[in-house]
Amino acid sequence: MAESCHNRSYYETAIRNEEFGPCNKCRKPKTDDDWCQSCCSDRFELDSKFNNKWTSGNDSIDGFVRRAQSKARNHWEVIEWIPYKRLINVKYLTKGGFSTINKAIWLDGYIICWNDIKNVWNRNRYKLEEEDYLDYRTLKEDEKFGFHVVLKSLNNINEDFLNEWENYLEFLYSAINNYANFVRVFGITQDPKTKVYMVVLEEMKRGSLRDNLLIKKYNPNDKYHNLYEIACSLSALSKPSMTHGDLHNGNLLLKDEFHIYISDFGQSRQFNQSINSKDIYGVIPYMAPEVLRGKPYTKASDIYSFGVIMWEFTSGVPAFHDIPHDFNLSLQICKGHRPEIIEGTEPDYVELMKRCWDNDPNKRPTAKELSEIFDVWSAKYLMEMDYDKRKSVPVPTIIENHPLSCYISRKIDHYAKLNEILDQGELSSIIVIDEGKDDEGKYNIESELEELKI
Ligand SMILES: [Zn+2]
C-alpha cells in the first residue's frame, strides 16, 4: 500500500475484495501488497518465543504488543517491543502536560515487510548524518544507520492504561487508513536504569505549530493547506466517541515545513481521568466555553479549538499569549470574548473562524464541512512548496508570553465557580466584555470582579 493510498474506503474495500492476491505461503488473501496478516502474526509469535525471545518484563505490556502484532494488516499497524539498547543518543527534548519527551535514534528502524529470502524483517532506516552523533568516528559501520524517533514516558502502567492505548491504536489505524495525519506509534521501550516505560513515536522534525506560527504568518497561503490537513484528520475520527479533546498548537506537529500531524489525541483524558471523573484538563485559550463550564469534550469542542488555531495562522502568535490564563480568561471566553481579528484577514475566512468558535456548539461546522471548504481554498491559494521562494521570518522577532500564561495541558478546576457566576444573569450587565485593554494589556475585569467579591 503506497503512502498516498491510505484511503479507508479504498483500503477496506481492497481487503474485502481480496485485491492484494493470495499469500505465496499460506494461500490466504493478503491484507496489503507486502503483508499477510496470518503469516506475519505467526512470525511475530515465533520472534517473541524463540528468535528474539523478547519480553518487556510486564505481562500486560507483552500482551498489548502481541495483540497489536497479531491484528496488524499492514506495516503501519505494527508495534514492537523495542530494546532500550537499540536506542542511542537519547536526549531530553521537552516536557508535555503528562509526560517527558526525549528524542533518540532507533538503530533498527521500523518494519516494512518480511524478507522471504533472508528470513528477516525488512526495515526502514537511513544513513545518519555525522551531526547526529557526539562520537561518530568510534561507531561501527552498522551503527551509522537508524531512524529518528521520540520517546514519551508513561507514568503509570496498569490494565486500564493499556486498554486506553489499545483504543488509541484502533483510532490511529482507522485514521491513518482514512488519509489522516496522525503521529505514528512504533512501539514501547523501558529505560533499564529508571525502569520508566516509554512509547516510541515518529519524530516530527520541525516541532510544534507553536514553534512555527511566525513562519506560517509570513507564508499566508500555508494556512489553507495545513487547516485542510487538520480538518481531514479530525473528520477521520469517524466514530462518535472519537474526539481529540485537547487540540492546541503544541500537539499539532510539523513533519517538515509543509505537513501538519496531530498527536496526543484523547490522551489528556486517557492519562488523567477515569471515565466517571468530572475533572477537566486542557489549555484555556483552546477550550470551548461548554468545556470550561464542566461539560465533556465533544467533536464540536474540537472545532472550537480549530477556530482558535485558524486565528493563530493569521496572527503568528498563540491566542491570548499576553494575558494570564486564569479564571478571568475562562470567564471572558464563556461570555463570548475571542482573539481580535487580524486586519487584512479574508472576510470568508473570518466568517468561518467565527462559526467555529461560536459559543453555541450546535452552530459550529463539522470537521467534514471544514475539510471540504479548505479543500477548495487550498486549491485556490497554493502553498509555496519551493524552499527557495518561501519567505523567512524577519529577525529578530521574539514573542513574549505573559508569565501567567500556560500552554501545557493541566487540570482546570474552576468550572463550578464559573457556572455559579455565569448563572447569575445580572452579571452580564455589569461586566462589559471587549471593552479593550489598559496600557499593560490587562483587561479591566478584575476590579469589577473584586467589587462583586468573587
Ligand atoms: Zn500467509
Tell me the pLDDT tens digit for each residue of 12-43: 888 999 999 999 999 999 999 999 999 999 99
Ligand 1 centre from 1 Cα, in Å? Answer: 17
116 Cβ neighbours under 8 A, 6+ residues apart:
24
Any domain includes 451: no
Any domain includes 435: no
187 & 237 share domain = no
170 & 273 share domain = no
Q: φ, ψ for residue 219 (rounded to 5)?
A: -120, 75
236 & 197 share domain = no
pLDDT digits (tens, 9 = 90+) for 286-330: 999 999 999 988 899 999 999 999 999 999 999 999 999 999 999
Give the residue ranges of DSSP H helices in 193-294.
Answer: 209-218, 222-236, 267-272, 289-292
Ligand 1 centre from 218 Cα, in Å? Answer: 52
Q: Which of 413, 430, 445 finishes a domain?
A: 413
Of 72-76, 101-105, 235-239, the least confident: 235-239
Ligand 1 centre from 74 Cα, in Å? Answer: 13
233 Cβ neighbours under 8 A, 6+ residues apart:
175, 180, 181, 182, 261, 262
Any domain includes 433: no
174 & 262 share domain = no
Any domain includes 434: no
Ligand 1 centre from 24 Cα, in Å? Answer: 7
Ligand 1 centre from 37 Cα, in Å? Answer: 7
The one-letter code for the residue type at 257 is: E
pLDDT digits (tens, 9 = 90+) for 212-254: 999 999 999 999 999 999 998 888 876 677 788 889 999 899 9
pLDDT digits (tens, 9 = 90+) for 155-169: 666 666 677 677 777
Three-state secondary-structure class, residue 322: coil
178 & 74 share domain = yes
Ligand 1 centre from 45 Cα, in Å? Answer: 14
User: Which residue, 95, 239, 132, 223, is CA-closest to 178?
Assistant: 239
pLDDT, average across residues 53-82: 91
pLDDT at 3 over 60: no
pLDDT at 429 over 70: no
CATH number at residue 313: 1.10.510.10
Ligand 1 centre from 31 Cα, in Å? Answer: 9
Q: Which of 147, 176, 202 finishes a domain?
A: 202
Supply the pLDDT for residue 291: 94
CA-to-CA distance for 357 and 360, rounded, in angstroms?
8
Instruction: Name the burial class of residue 68, with classes exposed (0-12), middle (13-18) and buried (19+) by CB atoms within 10 angstroms of its CB.
Output: buried
132 & 243 share domain = no
452 compared with 4, residue with greater pLDDT: 452
Any domain includes 438: no
Cα angle: 342, vertex 346, 349; to 5 degrees = 90
Q: How confident is the model at residue 175 (pLDDT cuts 50, 70, 90)?
A: confident
327 & 312 share domain = yes
- Return the C-alpha torsion angle 103, 109, 111, 112, nearest 10: 110
Before 22, cis peptide (omega within 30)? no
Ligand 1 centre from 42 Cα, in Å? Answer: 9
Any domain includes 28: yes
Ligand 1 centre from 18 Cα, in Å? Answer: 13
Percentage of the chain modeled with pLDDT above 70: 83
User: Which residue, 68, 42, 288, is CA-closest to 173?
Assistant: 68
Instruction: List residues bridging with 410 in a β-sheet.
Output: 282
Ligand 1 centre from 32 Cα, in Å? Answer: 11
Ligand 1 centre from 204 Cα, in Å? Answer: 34
Give how many domains the chain has, as a whole number.
2
Ligand 1 centre from 68 Cα, in Å? Answer: 17
Ligand 1 centre from 43 Cα, in Å? Answer: 10
CA-to-CA distance for 250 and 67, rounded, in angstroms?
31
333 & 248 share domain = yes
Ligand 1 centre from 30 Cα, in Å? Answer: 7
Supply the pLDDT for residue 453: 41
Any domain includes 441: no
Ligand 1 centre from 184 Cα, in Å? Answer: 25
Q: How confident is the model at residue 192 (pLDDT cuts 50, 70, 90)?
A: very high
Q: How confident is the model at residue 427 (pLDDT cuts 50, 70, 90)?
A: low
Ligand 1 centre from 35 Cα, in Å? Answer: 8
Ligand 1 centre from 112 Cα, in Å? Answer: 16
CATH number at residue 138: 3.30.200.20
Ligand 1 centre from 438 Cα, in Å? Answer: 70
Could you tell me the pTM of the whole model? Answer: 0.81
Ligand 1 centre from 186 Cα, in Å? Answer: 23
Ligand 1 centre from 99 Cα, in Å? Answer: 39
pLDDT digits (tens, 9 = 90+) for 313-372: 999 999 999 999 999 999 999 999 999 999 999 999 999 999 999 999 999 999 999 999
| 8 Å CB contact between 312 and 319 | yes
Ligand 1 centre from 10 Cα, in Å? Answer: 22
Ligand 1 centre from 342 Cα, in Å? Answer: 58
CA-to-CA distance for 288 and 412, rounded, in angstroms?
13
Any domain includes 452: no
Ligand 1 centre from 113 Cα, in Å? Answer: 12
Supply the pLDDT for residue 445: 44
Provide the domain limits for residue 150.
Answer: 11-202
CA-to-CA distance for 450 and 212, rounded, in angstroms?
38
CA-to-CA distance for 381 and 375, rounded, in angstroms?
10
Ligand 1 centre from 29 Cα, in Å? Answer: 8
Ligand 1 centre from 158 Cα, in Å? Answer: 34
80 & 138 share domain = yes
pLDDT, average across residues 195-207: 90
pLDDT digits (tens, 9 = 90+) for 252-295: 999 999 999 988 765 545 444 444 567 788 999 999 999 999 99
Ligand 1 centre from 78 Cα, in Å? Answer: 16
194 & 240 share domain = no
243 & 142 share domain = no
241 compared with 84, residue with greater pLDDT: 84
Ligand 1 centre from 328 Cα, in Å? Answer: 61
Supply the pLDDT for residue 26: 96
155 & 252 share domain = no
Q: Which of 202, 220, 235 finishes a domain?
A: 202
Ligand 1 centre from 115 Cα, in Å? Answer: 13
